[in-house]
Structure 1
Amino acid sequence: MLIHERVREFAGLPVVDFTEEGVFRDGTALDEPPAGGVAWRVRVEEDDGPFGPVFEEFLRTVDPAAVTALVIGWWQDYGGSDPADDPVERLLDAAGSLTDLRSLFIGDVVVEEREISWIPLVGFTPLFAAYPRLERFWMRSGEILGEPRRELRPFRAEHLRELRFESGGLPARVVRAVAAADLPALERLEMWLGTRHYGGDATVADLAPILSGERLPALRHLGLQNSDIQDEICAAVASAPVVARLESLALSMGTMTDAGAEALLSGQPLTHLRSLDLHHHFMSDAMTERVLAALPGVKVDVSEAGDPGDAWVAVSE
């Protein structure tokens, strides 16, 4: 699966682009920026030059105090390494201006700009102290380009309700930072763990604090997806305390086979779930029927079945 389209809506708001060339909505130039009610996306094209000046111009053009939702698209020249272009640095500098920011997505980058594992990992954890009112945080990133400028540390986000990481190889240190975080209001957590070949080195042990649910009292949806250890994750989920209070569970996009499904069926009951997402799997037809028969009242997605002898994650490079 390749990501060819940027988000057109974020946090329930239509996305408006702010680029070096001007303000655009759905590709149409606007004479003046909207007064409000939109999610702003700030990005540069590959040959536009540095992100920093474009972001500064954005803050001068709009009323930053009115911005509630912000999307960061591509931010680097090819091979660029100027700290002024690091979106986290720019966001930390702007925290005194973006005073009502509630929703943030870093890395709305399509494959034509950069494949997912070549989107730099950024040191996102200080953002939660700088923006204590954040309710939603998404990030799309990879591992290949190395260490973020800022160390990833455990964090507290008192109002955060939704946390989503899209990656073809989510580093274990990201998983551990989330697992050690205090997230009392978090309702939705989704992590595309990816493959070790692209830096996805998290283990089931790294996921243990998440699966215990002790730091996630409000969690209602959990997605542990796109993993090349999906069967191991299924086995851990089968006895995980957090599952009993979930409304929905996603174990999709990875290399799940009959072994993972057998672990789920042999574990704690899943009949309380409203939905179970297992799409992009490698179960046999017989096991697929067993799963569906065992959960008659649950909306189970078993689409995109693959050959059990050739399992692969949906998103990698």
Structure 2
Amino acid sequence: MSFVDHLEEFADRPVVPVPLPSELWPVPEGPHAWRVEAPYEGDFSWAEMFARLLGHVDPAGIEALVVGDWGVSEGVESGDVVAALVEAADRLTGLRALFLGDLIYEECELAWIEHDDIGALLTAYPRLEELVVRGSGVTFAPTRHEHLRSFTVEACDLRATLIEALGAGSYPALEVLDLWIGAAYLPASTEALFDGTSVPALRHLGLLNCAAADTVAAQLSTAPLVAQLRSLDLSMGTLGDEGAEALLLGQPLTHLKLRANHHFVSEELVERLTAATDVCNFADRQKESHSGGRYIEVSE
């Protein structure tokens, strides 16, 4: 999957870009999400465009925010954006949804979008309900966040420390969790999360783009968390017959909507999974490479 276009909608709102000083300020109707980026051609930084937004609209009325290119090619770090958002938290009191990293491949390949510890965002915005981060390196210490309902990380290689933090913290409102795992998967990192204690309200789990999807499936086959889920997504990864068999031999799946688009599972096993689940959506079956290997959908 390549990110060809910027977001047009986020948090069920149309995305409205912050205009350059030379452009007219838009007057959007209804709820919307503001998009802040450093212009590709221009002498304005991301910080200046962010200040322009806060100076032209009531910050307390901003409910959804999309962070675009912050100057990645110029060496500006994601941490500078996080620091600016944290500093503005006392003004952005209505912010409920944040997308950090709306960059397309022409601006920066996914593997080269780098983040670091974003824990300060969770602390600064205790009423945040939706958080999406695109890029690698995302992590934070175990914490308790009362209101986060949806969390997504789109990455080529997810840090094990992030998965561990999700298992060791407390996220009582979290209902939707989508993690693009990539190649750097450590089975031990998921043990606490798969117990389900830290995410009692979780109903959808996506463990996507995973190079060790069979191992993940084997863990999930006996994981207490699965009983509370309503949907499980193992798309974009290397799921094959071994993982499918593990799921079938494990706990009941009759309550689950199971999805795996981009997979390596045989037709026979897909039929068996279809009979064993509430809904089974397996599409885009892949063939192993000439060298006999499987591959994830997004590796750069």
TM normalised by structure 2 equals: 0.92
Structure 1 residue aligned with 2:33, among 28, 39, 62?
A: 39
Name the SS for the 2:126 alignment partner: coil
The one-letter amino acid of 1:188's match is: V
Q: Structure 1 residues 110-119 or 34-43, which shifts more?
A: 34-43
Q: Does 1:301 align with 2:281?
A: yes
Retained in 1: the 8 A contact 2:39–2:45?
no
User: What pairs with 1:173-212 in structure 2 (closer than 5 Å)?
Assistant: 173-195=161-183, 201-212=184-195
Counterparts of residues 1-317 of structure 1 (less than 5 Å): 1-20=1-20, 31-34=25-28, 37-48=31-42, 49-81=44-76, 86-143=80-137, 152-195=140-183, 201-273=184-256, 275-295=257-277, 298-308=278-288, 309-317=292-300
> Structure 1 residues 87 and 257, CA, compared in 2 at 3 Å: closer, same or farther?
same
Partner of 1:26: none
Structure 1, gaps ≥5 residues long: 24-29, 196-200
Deviations 1:66-97 (A, max 9, x none): 000111011115141468x7210110110011
171-180 or 160-169, larger mean C-alpha shift: 171-180
Q: CA deviation at 1:166?
A: 0.7
Contact 1:255 1:312 survives alignment (8 Å): yes
Of 237-246 and 47-56, deviating more is 47-56
Shift of 1:32: 3.3
Aligned residues: 296
Question: Which structure 2 segments of 5+ residues have no match?
Answer: none
Question: How much has 1:287 moved relative to structure 2?
Answer: 2.0
> SS in structure 1 opposite 2:119?
coil
Shift of 1:35: 6.6
Letter of the 2:264 partner, please give it: F
Deviations 1:32-55 (A, max 9, x none): 343751111111234445211111
TM-score w.r.t. the length of structure 1 is: 0.88
How far 1:299 sits from its partner (Å)?
1.9
Identity %: 41
Counterpart contact for 1:129–1:156, Cα < 8 Å: no
Contact 2:158/2:182 (<8 A) preserved: yes
SS of corresponding position for 1:86: helix
